[in-house]
A and B are shown apart, each in its own frame.
Chain A
Amino acid sequence: MNVPENLKYTESHEWIRVEGDVAVIGITDYAQDALGDIVYVEMPDADLAVTKGDEAVNIESVKVAEAVYAPVSGAVKDINDDLEETPELINKDAYGTFIYSIAMSDPSELDGYMDAAGYKAFLEAQE
């Protein structure tokens, strides 16, 4: 499984790319593979205030619908408009396709998350 070095990872298989005060969020290759063909991505409203752990996004594949949780608190900044017409971009390139971003209110919330090595080990333990 592909696990890029420069990202942070959550136990619910989201990746986070930190750009200053903004957390850019997507799902990992492992997650998109488990989901299967993605058919729809339900986005949050722009500027929506979120608390860490809130259900922010919903991803639907043919067989399952999974929540993507806000890994940090803050306000929704950008959403990836391309996913409305072509949600399958996530399947094709999970790390190159962001889903949404959050302007963080408390960047220290990032501290608990895994780095690439940690996530690789986490995945191995899952098998």
Chain B
Amino acid sequence: MKIEPDQLTAFEGTRPGAPGYRFPDADIPTGKASVPGTLRRKTPAALPELSEIETVRHFTNLSRRNFGVDLGFYPLGSCTMKYNPKLNEDTAALSGFSALHPLQSDEDSQGVLEMNGRLIEGLCEITGMAGGTLQPMAGAHGEFTGMKLFRAAFRARREEKRTRLLIPDSSHGTNPASAHLAGFDVVTIPSGADGMLDPSALDPYLDDTLAGIMLTNPSTLGLFETSIQEVADKIHGAGGLLYYDGANLNAVMGRTRPGDMGFDVVHINLHKTFSTPHGGGGPGAGPVLVKEDLLPFLPVPVMVKAGDGWKRDWDRPQSIGKVSGWYGNTAVLVRAFTYMLSMGGNGLKRASDLAVLNANYLLASLKDVYNAPYPGPCKHEFVLSAKKLKDTTGIAAMDIAKGLVENGIHPPTVYFPLIVHECMMIEPTETETKDSLDHFVDVMKELRELADTDPEALHQMPQSTVVRRVDEVRAARSPVLSHMMIGDRPD
């Protein structure tokens, strides 16, 4: 294995005797702790020894081997990689928020409680719901919470036999997993030929074992489910509930609301729609909002108004309990609320409008270059298929993705949703300029040409990144997952 100097881990760069962090002189008299030998560790933890400047260079150099929205275009479908405002970082750094302990009293915490309360109010207005919780730490976590709320609602109605949950085949993989985790049996509903949900496909399941349906609207194909009212009527008519996966909310703010479409429980991805940064995979936040009759089941504590201020209400006997340790990812909530204030109601609607404009502009520009199974119009995202391309040139969606990497553009989502073969799901978001979109179209056209003239070049991409295509089979067959496991390398 070739290892370049700047690929050495901190462990491999360890330098015995290097000075580390200096603590202040201890002024508390020592020797008061008596811990018996049985409770003391025998082998110390071999953490790396690096001086401060080495630490700074190590991580700064690593950051330069990483691509973020601040560097370029990131059209990942259903991820909504919009610009992360720097103002959000400033407000998140306010010590009035960061130094507050979760066990301090309501009196001590009025600022953050007010912020949480107003954030929920704003999210409810945008989605047409009655109240909610900020505890879930990610979208999937929100889904799980929503599914627990379903269970609680059925338990209260003494309808525990409602265990069947319908999920379209275009759904995100976390949807069925979240449902299963909450004890539901998942039934996959096939999409129609037009990519949309066919309400008649629900008919076989409209009985008293029906829990409900989990949907996103627009769908993962970027299409607005125009039959949503019929779907809602059928599900409600059979006594079921509707769950809204908010991953695609960026398409419709101010235009339509899941609550008005008939959804009973909604989750929102603040790290998508509300501009909080993805941070390489988290932390995010997945608040869950509900209709009036599901309010009693919300996790505790619930932020409620108390006199002129706010308080945490723990006295909720029908609550599902807690889904995370405290009150949610507060630092993320501060950022999201800052964004909500910055954008305002008019700005959020404008954001959705321009997100949809940008996506349609790209679709119009690319549908004759690649195969667009649903040629438009779309909402905030659309899909292209590289199936025909693969059949004629051997170039798959993966190769186009690597071609984009080579050109300094992050690829779109590939191979999802599963119902479109060789799928590329593209979501530009509203914060991308026309120039940026035009450049993307130019590169996509160049790659399309290369597929015809020199496919081997595409198979070899990327060439100019710090590493080439990686061996995923080796990583999974012979896992080396820590410095401690280096000895397990297959060669």
List residues of A whose CB falls within 8 A of some B CB: 37, 39-40, 60-62, 87-88
Secondary structure type dominating chain B contacts: helix
**Which of the four size classes fits the interface of chain B?**
under 10
Q: Does B35 contact A (CB under 8 A)?
A: no
Name 13 A/B residue pairs within 8 A (Cβ), A-sorted.
A37-B473, A39-B473, A39-B476, A39-B477, A40-B476, A40-B477, A60-B476, A61-B476, A62-B472, A62-B473, A62-B476, A87-B477, A88-B477
Q: How far is the CB of A53 from chain B (nearest CB, A)?
A: 16
A88, B477: Cα distance in complex, Å: 9
Nearest first, the 10 A-B pairs at minimum CB distance are A39-B476, A39-B477, A37-B473, A62-B472, A62-B476, A62-B473, A39-B473, A40-B477, A87-B477, A40-B476
Q: How far is the CB of A78 from chain B (nearest CB, A)?
A: 23
Q: How far is the CB of A16 from chain B (nearest CB, A)?
A: 27
CB-defined contacts of B476 to chain A, threshold 8 Å: 39-40, 60-62
A88, B472: Cα distance in complex, Å: 14
Q: How far is the CB of B432 from chain A (nearest CB, A)?
A: 30
CB-defined contacts of A37 to chain B, threshold 8 Å: 473
Closest to B472 in A: A62
Closest to B478 in A: A39
Within 8 A of A (CB), among B442-491: 472-473, 476-477
A40, B479: Cα distance in complex, Å: 11
List residues of B whose CB falls within 8 A of some A CB: 472-473, 476-477
A88, B473: Cα distance in complex, Å: 10
A61, B473: Cα distance in complex, Å: 8
CB-defined contacts of B477 to chain A, threshold 8 Å: 39-40, 87-88
CB-defined contacts of A88 to chain B, threshold 8 Å: 477
A91, B108: Cα distance in complex, Å: 63
Best-buried of A40, A61, A62, A88 by chain B (most CB within 10 Å) = A62
CB-defined contacts of B472 to chain A, threshold 8 Å: 62
CB-defined contacts of A61 to chain B, threshold 8 Å: 476
A62, B478: Cα distance in complex, Å: 12
A97, B477: Cα distance in complex, Å: 18
Beyond the given A37-B473, A60-B476, A87-B477, could you list 9 further A-B residue pairs with CB under 8 A, ordered by the A residue number? A39-B473, A39-B476, A39-B477, A40-B476, A40-B477, A62-B472, A62-B473, A62-B476, A88-B477
A39, B471: Cα distance in complex, Å: 12
A61, B477: Cα distance in complex, Å: 9
Q: How far is the CB of B474 from chain A (nearest CB, A)?
A: 9
A60, B473: Cα distance in complex, Å: 11
Closest to B476 in A: A39
CB-defined contacts of A40 to chain B, threshold 8 Å: 476-477
Closest to A36 in B: B473
CB-defined contacts of A39 to chain B, threshold 8 Å: 473, 476-477
A7, B298: Cα distance in complex, Å: 55
Q: How far is the CB of B260 from chain A (nearest CB, A)?
A: 38
Closest to A61 in B: B476
A88, B490: Cα distance in complex, Å: 15
Closest to A37 in B: B473
A37, B476: Cα distance in complex, Å: 10
Q: How far is the CB of B475 from chain A (nearest CB, A)?
A: 8
A48, B473: Cα distance in complex, Å: 30
Closest to B415 in A: A63
A51, B237: Cα distance in complex, Å: 39
Closest to A87 in B: B477
A39, B478: Cα distance in complex, Å: 8
CB-defined contacts of B473 to chain A, threshold 8 Å: 37, 39, 62
Closest to B474 in A: A39
CB-defined contacts of A87 to chain B, threshold 8 Å: 477
A19, B102: Cα distance in complex, Å: 65
A61, B472: Cα distance in complex, Å: 10
A33, B472: Cα distance in complex, Å: 17
Closest to A86 in B: B477
Closest to A60 in B: B476
A37, B475: Cα distance in complex, Å: 12
A37, B472: Cα distance in complex, Å: 9
Q: How far is the CB of B363 from chain A (nearest CB, A)?
A: 28
CB-defined contacts of A60 to chain B, threshold 8 Å: 476
Best-buried of A37, A60, A87, A88 by chain B (most CB within 10 Å) = A37
A70, B24: Cα distance in complex, Å: 64
